[in-house]
Copies of this chain bind each other. A is one copy, B any other.
Amino acid sequence: MRVLAKDVKAAALEGGKIVEVSGWVHRIRDLGAVNFIILRDRSGMIQLVLNEKTDLTHESVITVRGEAALNDKAPGGAEVRVSSLEVLSASVPDLPFQVNGDVNKVGLEAILDQRTLSLRNPKISAIFKVQATIVDAFSSALRGMGFTEIKTSKLVAGSTEGGTELFEVEYFDKKACLAQSPQLYKETMVASGLERVFEVAPAYRAEKHDTPRHLNEYISMDIEMGFIESELELIEVEKKVLAHIFEEVANRNSAELALWKDHDASVPEADAVFNAPVISYEEALKIANKESEAGKGGRIFDINPEAERHVCRWAQREKGTGLVFVNEFPRRYRPFYTYPSGTSGTMSFDALFRGLEITTGGRRQHDYNALLEVLPRFGLKAENMEGYLSVFKYGCPPHGGFAIGCERLTARILGLANVKEASLFPRDRKRLTP
């Protein structure tokens, strides 16, 4: 029976137990008659002592049997004294880059091109262990608040956002599009009586720009809920969700956070989340301009990426938190279905975290006639939106929701410079492989 690397020490403490371990050859220290091999498996690393010459290559997959023994000098305090060794899969000797080297020196393109190898570096796989926790904690926080998980179609007949940044699909004899968001479907599910729903699924934006904050395919963590009065209730839900995610990452991923210490990886305390300021768009713009001025920067006209960084820097300094909610976005910046507030505002918000927008959300218009009235002002025609509008014909409660970009949140927790690092197989204008 195979034991994991992390369990060898316990076997050694039982005294002279024979164990079987399997994994990848991480490092070979060839001393001629004696070889020290560091073996890597999903649980960590263990030293193997091999009393013979070897022609093993790095990254080959092996299974060994031998005595588990304590050794203070070995990583983890134990080792396996090998009596038999089997090569399950030999690696070619020439690797595109050294898995056991400093991953900071490997370029992003090589890391993405060589996913099989780059993910073997513990620092790289750490990103996706944290991401798995984020997805799980997002879901469990919402289940605890009475939300039902849904799975909606990503093949849609047209856009609900009225945008043009859509990927087209040949769907038998029709044209379909890849969904930009589950917006319509989330609203349908609220109106259908489930009231509170969430979904974790891919979303698609055919945006041509290639920046460190954009992906053409990303994991959208969406919620929608009925019977709310304003975006403030949504912000409260997001605070609870984020606090739970951060708590779970702190509990389960301390080793992974430690690997990214050089990038200031960390999660905020619950207090810092619940005390995160909620400021209006106008206030945020003032703060961004003050910060910019203080840094001898130029005038800022809207909440662009530069403004997001300024506002988060201000919040960190003045409020002790890297999380800020900006609400009351002007009408012109929000989609047609956003619920109005006052004459030119909306009940909408963004969440900014450590300099990056991680969430857009808001209350939606649920009144059929109000939607009919607003469509022409956004250049939309009711006759093209019948599917969307029908949701509001048969009784739809006041509702709203938001989406958290999973890769962005992952990147901001770990201090990654580019969101692509937080996508297993990122898609951009030039990248369709691996």
Whether B193 and A41, one on each chain, are in contact in the complex, defined by CB atoms closer than 8 angstroms, is: yes
Whether B92 and A172, one on each chain, are in contact in the complex, defined by CB atoms closer than 8 angstroms, is: no
Return A262 CB to nearest CB of chain B, in Å. Answer: 21
Whether B25 and A395, one on each chain, are in contact in the complex, defined by CB atoms closer than 8 angstroms, is: yes
Return A98 CB to nearest CB of chain B, in Å. Answer: 12
Contact of A91 among B393, B398, B423 (CB under 8 A): B393
29 inter-chain pairs at a CB distance below 8 angstroms, sorted by A residue, are A22-B227, A22-B397, A42-B193, A42-B194, A60-B395, A63-B227, A88-B398, A89-B366, A89-B392, A116-B188, A116-B396, A119-B194, A129-B148, A131-B151, A135-B151, A150-B424, A151-B406, A152-B425, A153-B427, A155-B427, A155-B432, A169-B178, A171-B432, A174-B432, A176-B432, A185-B424, A185-B425, A201-B201, A202-B202
Q: Could you tell me the distance between the alpha carbons of A135 and B427 in the complex, rounded to whole angstroms? A: 26
Whether B202 and A154, one on each chain, are in contact in the complex, defined by CB atoms closer than 8 angstroms, is: yes
Contact of A89 among B24, B188, B397, B425 (CB under 8 A): B397
The list of the 5 closest CB pairs from A to B, nearest first, reads A119-B192, A91-B395, A153-B425, A42-B195, A132-B149
Give per-residue flags for A397-434: 1 if the beta carbon is below 8 A from chain B beta carbons, else 0.
11000000010000000000000000111110100111
* Interface magnitude class on chain A: 35 or more
Contact of A116 among B118, B167, B390, B432 (CB under 8 A): B390
Whether B193 and A433, one on each chain, are in contact in the complex, defined by CB atoms closer than 8 angstroms, is: no
- Interface positions of A from 20 to 59, Cβ below 8 Å from B: 22-25, 40-42, 57, 59
Q: Could you tell me the distance between the alpha carbons of A304 and B141 in the complex, rounded to whole angstroms? A: 43
Whether A151 and B22, one on each chain, are in contact in the complex, defined by CB atoms closer than 8 angstroms, is: no
Whether A217 sits at the interface, judged by CB under 8 Å, is yes
Whether A193 and B125, one on each chain, are in contact in the complex, defined by CB atoms closer than 8 angstroms, is: yes
Whether A332 sits at the interface, judged by CB under 8 Å, is no
Whether B168 and A434, one on each chain, are in contact in the complex, defined by CB atoms closer than 8 angstroms, is: no
Whether A172 and B367, one on each chain, are in contact in the complex, defined by CB atoms closer than 8 angstroms, is: no
Whether A90 and B395, one on each chain, are in contact in the complex, defined by CB atoms closer than 8 angstroms, is: yes
Q: Could you tell me the distance between the alpha carbons of A85 and B391 in the complex, rounded to whole angstroms? A: 23
Q: Given A149-B135, A168-B170, do A192 and B2 touch, yes or no (CB 8 Å)?
A: no
Give per-residue flags for A187-223: 1 if the beta carbon is below 8 A from chain B beta carbons, else 0.
0110111111000111010101000000011010000
Q: Given A40-B193, A193-B119, do A136 and B146 touch, yes or no (CB 8 Å)?
A: no
